[in-house]
Amino acid sequence: MDFYDVIKSRHSIRDFADESIPDDIMKRIVEAAYTAPANDHFRDWHYVVLRDKDIMKNAIAGVPKNLTVKDVDAMTFISDPIQKETYQIAVPKQYKMLIDAAAVIIPLMKKKVDILNPSCLSDLNCYASVWCSIENVWLAATSEGYGCNVRIPMGNEEAVAKETLDIPDEYLIPCFIGIGRPAKGAKPARQIEVDYNKQIHWEHF
Ligand SMILES: Cc1cc2nc3c(=O)[nH]c(=O)nc-3n(C[C@H](O)[C@H](O)[C@H](O)COP(=O)(O)O)c2cc1C
């Protein structure tokens, strides 16, 4: 697939076909993480790939299973009808989009600074970098004909996954990635149109 076709067709996939991903393809997809730019040149991220359903189930046991569209109404930051529609589709699927995936991929970032209490912007560079690697995985999956979603761990979700998978405390889980073949008819959420003329500026704002 042409590079620009890949980035245009990358969307969150939250409904999957019951199909596994061959090991060699999965390897290519995850290894793509390690060509992402890294703030400190180390790329010392780890990726844990879960394909066994029981292990997936235990690792994501903290993810809420019974969220509904009503929970979206409580989200006061939602300001736009298309944004709301997306959340109404996505929120009830937070558990299903991971457990129905062919695999759950867990990126790990070494906690070198307290990113929840940054003293300056560059304290967040490690978090920005790991997200660059996550985007690489997402794009690689898309180019291979698979789809991904991401879930930011909240509450005890990270602790549950770390305990289940023996992940040392020095690592932070920026997200869970669900990956698999999109289900027939799975369509991305409606997107908010970007007016390039308004949002891209030439020479001055
Ligand atoms: C930093 C970040 C956090 C996100 N958190 C979640 C999440 O917790 N659950 C979820 O279903 N999607 C999550 N998403 C996916 C977004 O909802 C999605 O990318 C956005 O609505 C645009 O839609 P698209 O991915 O289909 O193009 C997240 C995306 C990013 C970049």
pLDDT digit string (tens) for 35-48?
Answer: 999 999 999 999 99
93 Cα nearest atom in ligand 1: 11
Contact 47, 108 (CB under 8 A): yes
Residue 186 forms part of a structural domain: yes
- Summarised one tens digit per residue, pLDDT across range 95-143 is 999 999 999 999 999 999 999 999 999 999 999 999 999 999 999 999 9
Residue 171 forms part of a structural domain: yes
Q: In the beta sheet, which residues pair with residue 179? A: 103, 148
Residue 139 forms part of a structural domain: yes
Question: Is 76 or 33 the better-scoring residue by pLDDT?
Answer: 33
Residue 176 forms part of a structural domain: yes
Residue 205 forms part of a structural domain: no
Q: Which residues line ligand 1 (CB under 6 A)?
A: 11-12, 86, 90, 149-152, 188-189
Tokens for 173?
């889980």
Would you say the pTM of this structure is higher than 0.95? yes
Residue (of 58, 67, 56) closest to 90 by Cα position: 67
Q: Which residue bears the tokens 């189930």?
A: 57
Q: State the pLDDT at residue 190.
A: 95
Report how far residue 60's alpha carbon sits from residue 127's, in angstroms, rounded to the nearest whole number.
21
Q: If 0-12 CB within 10 Å is exposed, 13-18 middle and 19+ buried, where does residue 161 land?
A: buried
Give the amino acid at 52: D
Question: Is 79 or 4 the better-scoring residue by pLDDT?
Answer: 4
Residue 97 forms part of a structural domain: yes
Tokens for 56?
């997936």
Instruction: State how many domains the chain has.
Output: 1
| Nearest CA residue ID for atom 28, ligand 1 | 150
Residues 6+ apart with CB under 8 A from 116: none
Residue 29 forms part of a structural domain: yes
Report how far residue 51's alpha carbon sits from residue 122's, in angstroms, rounded to the nearest whole number.
35
Q: State the pLDDT at residue 187.
A: 87
Residue 160 forms part of a structural domain: yes
Q: State the pLDDT at residue 173.
A: 98
Residue to mutate (ligand 1; options 150, 158, 179, 192; most atoms within 8 A of CB): 150
Query: Which range marks the domain in which residue 110 is found?
Result: 3-199
Q: How far is CA 173 from CA 73, 134, 153, in A?
A: 27, 11, 7
Q: What is the CATH number of the domain that holds 98?
A: 3.40.109.10
86 Cα nearest atom in ligand 1: 21
Q: Which helix (H) or strand (E) holds 50?
A: strand 46-50
- Ligand 1 centre distance from Cα of residue 203 (Å): 31
- Ligand 1 centre distance from Cα of residue 204 (Å): 30
